[in-house]
Amino acid sequence: MKVILFGATGMVGQGVLRECLLNSDVAGVLAVGRGSTGQSHTKLREIVRADLFDLSVIAADLQGYDACFFCLGVSSAGP
């Protein structure tokens, strides 16, 4: 399967990214965020956009995926 991951730079998202890249059932990961993960992997593709409140510009890039992990937000671990 192919998955989209929002928030791959965060604590939760980093864990999700790691597991997806390790899992043989996951053929590809599209990480969407306002910054790069800094990682390089054959299964990983990234879209970096300063403003994630308007995804219409990248709507076509979000087609054809099987699942989405939405890990954006404010950490419950505190600032």
Ligand X SMILES: NC(=O)c1ccc[n+]([C@@H]2O[C@H](COP(=O)([O-])OP(=O)(O)OC[C@H]3O[C@@H](n4cnc5c(N)ncnc54)[C@H](OP(=O)(O)O)[C@@H]3O)[C@@H](O)[C@H]2O)c1
- Note the residues at the interface with ligand X (CB under 6 A): 7, 9-13, 33-35, 52, 71-77
Whether the CB-CB separation of 28 and 2 falls below 8 Å is answered with: yes
Supply the minimum distance, in Å, between the C-beta of residue 51 and ligand X.
Answer: 8
Supply the minimum distance, in Å, between the C-beta of residue 50 and ligand X.
Answer: 9
CB half-sphere exposure, 71, CA atoms < 13 A: 20
Supply the minimum distance, in Å, between the C-beta of residue 32 and ligand X.
Answer: 9
The residue among 40 and 76 lying less far from ligand X, judged by its C-beta, is 76
**Paired tokens of 31:** 């990480």
Rounded Cα–Cα distance for residues 32 and 40 (Å)? 14
